[in-house]
Structure 1
Amino acid sequence: MSLVPSPPRDAYPPYPPDKFPFTEPPPVVTTPCDPWPPPYYLEDGLRKVTPYHYTYNTFCKERWRGREILDIFASEFRDRPTEYYEKAIVEGRVVLNGKPVESTKSIVKNGDVISHTLHRHEPPVTATSIGIVHEDDDLIVINKPAGMPVHPAGRYNFNSIIEIMRADRGYGWNPLPCNRLDRLTSGIMFIGKHKAAAEAMSAQIRERSVKKEYVTRVVGEFPEGEIVCEKPILQISPKLGLNRVRANGKEAKTVFKRLAYYPPKDSTQGANEEQQDGDGMAWKKLRGYSIVRCFPITGRTHQLRVHLQYLGHPISNDPIYANQRVFGPSLGRAHSEDENDEDIMTRLARMGKEDVADAVAYHDEMVDQYNKRKAEKMTGETCSVCDTPLYSDPGVHELGIYLHARRYRCETGRWDYETGLPEWALPPPGVEGPTESTVDTDPLAVDLKKLGLEDAEDQQEPSKTVTAAGAGV
């Protein structure tokens, strides 16, 4: 949301004004059009936001001091062409300290506030409701749909978990997320109704007194039994979001148990699919797929995705770790050396540039560039208000990956929340298979001491399990 003027302070440090002169900061411009309720509408299975005007405010950064205002926008804000920013300055949509800018060559000084009012276009998200697993006076346990960011960030504002929930419950309500799931991941999240409850639950999660189970859909026939991966994980490229198994990485431990395996269709069907699908999708279908339950003992970035790739069974629709065009036919199975990291990063970066593939839309770091290129091919239209290129709508396959936070359980036995299996984890039409989790495949029930993963756990009394009841926000 935009910034608003803060209340005046009662006093500043008691320095003599002649020795330490203080200049009151200029007032911050408020958004001229901050619609409420948010301008949502549902269309083609998507939640969309009618474009609206919005003001970004920022204080002059150190590297901006003494530079012309147009030069700052042209070099620092590359979302739109220089011509747009020049016109915005001339027409008064960009102001300095709340006043029109005299010219595009006006110099920005320390303490200045730059305000830019633009016509904001948010990407659509799924129209799937935010499920309610449990609610009391302190917390709401939700089932987050895939494709929704938790907080407003980047091009997402109203299309975020907290703003959608606020729109449902009232402008003055402040939802406080206690844990975070990636935009692409679905599943259980905790929302505090007040600060004390949010801090208490967040502390529990940080202290690792909470066990988590994820369910995923992976390429090929995953082995039966308790499969353990203890390979350390190293962040290779923060910009590209790439992590790999490396000996010098951080300790990472995961227990996997297969719930079901669904073999491929007949070879004739597979041949037809191979002609229709690119980027290795037919190859994945010819191997069939497995539904796997996951127990991350540690919590490293992309831990489940990286460990599954290392085991040779990456998440089926993972745009990074199941991408043959990046990792080759083996998809990085059992690979822990760094000799080809540069080539992998080059190919991965190219996916958002020359090699535009649908799967790239999963990747937060590349999504803007991908959508722009896709829009140029698909629509070629621009907004009648601000001349912004209009993007085509994302497909259902672009809204998330097959990774779902299914269950969170308190080790002390006070609570246990879970959801049902997501639709993509159910048996395909006409095929028999489990439609709910089974006791014998529960990864949280494994004996970690027996597996050499942890000291003997204290015996806890059975906890009360709460399952999603289908309620929605």
Structure 2
Amino acid sequence: MAQDVVKSKDSDKQTEQNKPKVQFITVDKEDAGQRIDNFLLRTLKGVPKSHLYRLMRKGEIRVNKKRIKPVYKLAVGDILRIAPIRVSEKTDEVSTKLSVVANLEHQILFEDDRLIVINKPSGMAVHGGSGLSFGLIEALRALRPDARMLELVHRLDRDTSGCLVVAKKRSALRNLHEQLRNKTVQKFYHALVKGHWPTKLTRVTDALKKNDLKSGERVVVVDNIEGKESETRYKVLQRYQGATLVRAFPVTGRTHQIRVHCQASGHSIAGDAKYGNETFDASLKEKGLKRLFLHAASIEFTHPKTEQRLKIEAPLEPSLEKLLTNMVEVEK
């Protein structure tokens, strides 16, 4: 009986420890300037947006003891009081993807207190959504649970591999977004394309337009009347029988830009299920290609803290290296 009483006391103590408590957060200059709803969504991971809005309406989330609206912009020194919130234990499928999460540790190319640059695997979406509850950013958050913030600086298509930059601080995110707007970030891709890419074809400038099909699928087409101005620069790296390895530099950053510009030039990228050539893809599938041969090989930018130019390179995955080794090279 006494033992049962002890167990009951321990249980009550554990329950008391697990009860959510009032939180007080003082805003520093890293977080100043952003809307409070965006700040709370990142800080209170797992709490639905609708619930946060309800808490603000009820005054259970206050700034400097005053009620605020979701559009309120935080200032340095603001003190947030957040009433106890019980967050449901959501795993976001991380438990079933532990091997994927662990593998990402080996794909990190660069990391410091501001940034992570990772060699994103092909087949992994950059974030959950569109029927996916788990993507690379969710995996990184599981890998770095103590990181206060992890946000994508830019994106890569699900089937594209290579350099992807993630910000650890809001100031770094702002800085890199400004560099992207000013076109001082250089991203180079390697693509294996159909046929003999002409050495003189160094620029493709077809305007691109996004079309949403009834099925919900997004397709990008060349439309020089209604499309957005686009430019990709190319350089031949190596020729093979029936194919060319090219380097692509997207001057603009349109959706599926490199893939559609290659298709429009008559040189579709190998393994492209949406814009590819079936005969070409079938021949390479026999050689072992199981994915889109488009890889973000390097990225160069100015480090937000040190202001030094930083160039990060991502190696091709072994399956693509093996494919190229088994192909017959021809002279340029």
Q: Is the 8 A contact 2:122 2:158 kept in 1?
A: yes
Contact 1:130 1:144 in 2 (8 A): no
Specify the code of the residue in structure 2 equivalent to 1:258: V
Q: Which amino acid in structure 2 is aligned with residue 39 of structure 1? A: S
Contact 1:37 1:167 (8 Å CA) reproduced: no
- Aligned: 1:418 with 2:309: no
TM-score normalised to the size of structure 2? Answer: 0.63
Kindly provide the CA deviation profile for residues 287-324 of structure 1, in whole angstroms up to 9, marking residues without a partner as x: x3222110111222221111101111111111111155
| Aligned equivalent of 1:8 | 61
The CA deviation at 1:221 is 2.5
Shift of 1:31: 6.2
Q: Which residue of 1 aligns with 2:254?
A: 300
Give the 3-state SS of the residue equivalent to 1:40 in structure 2.
helix
Q: Structure 1 residues 2 and 413 mapped into 2: Cα distance closer, same or farther (>3 Å)?
A: closer
Structure 1 match to 2:153? 178
Q: 1:408 to 1:430 in 2, by over 3 A?
A: closer
CA gap of 1:129–1:169, structure 2 versus 1, over 3 A, is closer
Question: Unaligned 5+ residue runs, structure 2?
Answer: 1-45, 70-82, 282-288
The 2-side partners of 1:11 and 1:173 are apart by: 25
**Could you say which residue in structure 1 is the equivalent of 2:183?**
208
The ranges of structure 1 where at least 4 consecutive aligned residues each deviate by more than 4 angstroms after the TM superposition are 29-32, 126-130, 429-434
For 1:136 and 1:41, how far apart are their aligned partners in 2?
25
For residues 30 and 154 of structure 1, the distance between their equivalents in structure 2, rounded to whole angstroms, comes to 27
- Runs (5+) with no aligned partner, structure 1: 14-26, 49-125, 264-287, 332-395, 435-440, 442-473
The Cα offsets for residues 396-429 of structure 1, whole Å up to 9 and x where unpaired, read as 93xx522111112238972222222344543545
The CA deviation string for residues 310-348 of structure 1, in whole angstroms up to 9 with x for no partner, is: 111111111111155xxxx899xxxxxxxxxxxxxxxxx
Distance 1:172 1:134, change over 3 A: closer
Identify if the C-alpha distance between structure 1 residues 430 and 142 changes in structure 2 by more than 3 Å, giving closer, same or farther: closer
Whole-angstrom distance in 1 between the partners of 2:249 and 2:201: 11
Aligned partner of residue 216 in structure 1, secondary structure: strand
Check whether the contact 1:225–1:258 (CA below 8 A) recurs between aligned residues. Answer: no
Matched, 1:252 2:226: no
Q: Secondary structure at the match of 1:244?
A: strand
Distance of aligned partners of 1:129 and 1:168 in 2 relative to their CA distance in 1, 3 Å threshold? closer
The separation in 1 between residues aligned to 2:194 and 2:105, in whole angstroms, is 29
Which deviations, in whole Å up to 9, do the C-alpha atoms of 1:354-382 show, x marking residues without a partner?
Answer: xxxxxxxxxxxxxxxxxxxxxxxxxxxxx
User: What is the aligned residue count?
Assistant: 247
Render the CA deviation track for 1:115-158: whole Å, top value 9, x for unaligned. xxxxxxxxxxx96656122122211111111122222213323x
Do structure 1's residue 243 and structure 2's residue 220 form an aligned pair?
Answer: yes
Higher mean Cα deviation, 236-245 or 291-300?
A: 236-245
Letter in 1 for 2:160: T
Distance, in Å, in 2 between the alignment partners of 1:39 and 1:187 is 25
Distance in 2 of aligned mates of 1:228 and 1:417: 24
Shift of 1:34: 2.1
Amino acid at match of 1:421: L
- Structure 1 stretch 180-189 or stretch 413-422: which is displaced more? 413-422
Residue in 1 that maps onto 2:268: 314
Structure 1, 226-235 or 294-303: larger mean CA deviation? 226-235
The one-letter amino acid of 2:116's match is I
CA contact (8 A) 2:147 2:168 kept: no
Amino acid of the residue matched to residue 155 of structure 1?
G
* 1:214 Cα offset (Å): 0.8
Q: What do you get for the CA RMSD once the two structures are aligned?
A: 3.7
Higher helix proportion: 2
Aligned-partner Cα distance in 2 for 1:243–1:431:
31
Q: 2:112 aligns with which of 136, 149, 161?
A: 136
Task: Give the TM-score normalised by the residue count of structure 1.
Answer: 0.46
Alignment of structure 1 residues 254-269 onto 2, 5 Å: 254-263=232-241
Question: Deviations for 1:12-60, whole angstroms, at most 9, x for unmatched residues?
Answer: 79xxxxxxxxxxxxx9x96644249931356xxx749xxxxxxxxxxxx
With over 3 angstroms needed to count, the CA separation of the structure-2 counterparts of 1:257 and 1:171, relative to structure 1, is: same
Quick one: structure 1 residues 323 and 429, their matched pair in 2 at CA, closer, same or farther if it must change by over 3 Å?
closer
Q: 1:314, 1:246 → 2: CA distance? A: 18
Pick closer, same or farther for the CA change 1:185–1:323 going to 2, 3 Å: same
